[in-house]
Amino acid sequence: MIAVHLAILSITALIGLVFSYLAITERDLLKAVAYSAVQAIAYAIIFYLLMAPDIVLAYVAIAVGIYSALLIFVIGKTGRYEVV
Amino acid sequence: MKRLAGLIIVLLIVLTVSCYVSRMVPPQKNLHPLGEFYLQNSYFGRYSAKSPEAVTSIVWDYRGVDTLFETAVFFLAIIGSLTLFRLNKGQAEEAKRGEPKLELPGPVATVTKVTVAMILAVSASIALHGQLTPGGGFQGGSALAVAPLLIIAVYTKYALEKNGLDKTRAIIIRSIGLLGIALTALVPLLLGGYIMQNQPIFPAKALGVPLGGSLVFYNFFEYLAVGAGFTAVFLLLSIPEEKFRKFLGVRR
């Protein structure tokens, strides 16, 4: 049983890593926010598997809801594309 | 293409390092003595917080002062953003002027109504059950803050303000929450205890439900403070940028 948990854990950790990489390299900031929300969902699953339900409850609301919304407000007030 | 190459390199590095490190770390066999203390004491032991939820009893009882300072940091963060966005009376009136209008298709509105009701119920149960089940004031409050956020996204912020939840009210609710936390921390001093003391000053049970003494009060007030604090910031952030430009006198 623990092997299944560890397998899910490593897969979600990889998903989180891939999406955080995508979020960092993306030029379209709205897409980057969406990627970071996917990464947050993966990490929420990790927290749940590591038996930290208290963290999950705060993390889902903040990282998926409030943090994304805050960044979308900021993008709405500035520009959508990252200019280098 | 370049991104894909970078991704593969990052994945390879992380996998190699984690494989290498995981061989060096021995697996954990036993609980830490500190963890054992909390598990044994949070409900049954001599230093009981009378709460079956070990995490909440650590957060608001054993390590209560930490959480008190954390709440103070959060309070300062909200105060800071409110100060950045301060408006005079006329500007505040103008910021409120506007009609709630639905910019999204009808089904979205219906789903939002149902979801907002569900979020309110779930967040209240997270916060008020915090001494029994995983959850607590901060978790419940941050879930509560998603509800006005959804309303702002779907119906614009004017819908919230027309229904009575404007910035001033949000700040008042938040102040009530913070005042409640401060009073709950100070009450034991009046009864001859020390600051933030929980047992045996606060009741352990009411109507057969374990309350965890002061934990239920802290959770409830933190719920109000966090939810309303976030709501106030969102109400300010959702003022359209054109109005801000006008207030600040920026011409572009």
Domain count, chain B: 1
Q: Tell me the chain A residues in contact with residue B126 when contact means C-beta distances shorter than 8 Å.
A: 57
* Residues forming beta bridges with residue B206, ordered by sequence position: B209
Q: Going residue by residue through chain B (252 aa), what tens digit of pLDDT does each one get?
A: 788 899 999 999 999 998 899 888 887 788 888 888 888 887 887 777 788 888 888 888 888 889 889 888 988 998 898 888 788 888 888 878 877 777 778 888 889 999 999 999 999 999 988 888 888 888 999 999 999 998 888 888 888 888 888 888 999 999 999 999 989 888 888 888 888 887 777 777 778 778 777 888 899 999 999 999 999 988 888 888 888 788 877 765
Q: Give CA–CA dist A15/B198, Å, rounded.
A: 43
B198-201 long-range CB contacts below 8 Å, 24 or more apart? B198/B49, B198/B50, B198/B60, B198/B61, B198/B64, B199/B48, B199/B49, B199/B50
H/E element holding B209? strand B209-210
- Determine contact: A69 vs chain B, CB below 8 A: yes
Q: Give CA–CA dist A12/A70, Å, rounded.
A: 25
pLDDT of residue B82: 86
- The per-residue b/e assignment along B99-127, b for 16 or more CB within 10 angstroms, e otherwise, is eeeeeeeeeeeeebeeebeebeebbbebb
Any domain includes B116:
yes
H/E element holding B206? strand B205-206
Any domain includes B120:
yes
**Shortest Cα–Cα distance, B47 to chain A (Å):** 22
Any domain includes B10:
no
Contact A58 B6 (CB under 8 A): no
Contact B146 A58 (CB under 8 A): no
Q: Give CA–CA dist B83/B236, Å, rounded.
A: 11
Contact B150, B115 (CB under 8 A): yes
The domain of B160 spans 36-245
pLDDT of residue B252: 57
Domain assignments of chain A as residue spans, ordered by start: 2-77
Any domain includes B2:
no
**Shortest Cα–Cα distance, A17 to chain B (Å):** 8
**Shortest Cα–Cα distance, A77 to chain B (Å):** 6
Tokens for B126, please give them.
Answer: 């997270």
A58 to chain B: closest CA residue = B139
pLDDT in tens, A3-60: 898 899 999 999 999 999 999 998 899 999 999 999 999 999 999 999 888 889 889 8
